Amino acid sequence: MDSELFQNLRHLKDFKSLTKNENTYWCYRWPNGKNIEVYDLHTKKTMFTLGHDAHLAQYICDLQNMSNKMIEEVESKYVAV
Q: What residue segments make up the domains of the chain, in order of their start?
A: 3-78
The DSSP secondary structure of 27-62, one letter per residue, reads EEE-SSSS-EEEEETTT--EEEEESS-HHHHHHHHH
pTM over 0.85: no
**In this predicted model, what pLDDT tens digit does every residue of 24-47 receive, in sequence order?**
789 999 988 889 999 999 889 898
Question: pLDDT band at 56, cuts 50/70/90?
Answer: very high
Residues paired with residue 72 on neighbouring β-strands, in sequence order: none
DSSP H helices, 1-81, are 3-18, 54-78
**Residue 48: partners with Cβ closer than 8 Å, 6 or more residues away:** 37, 38
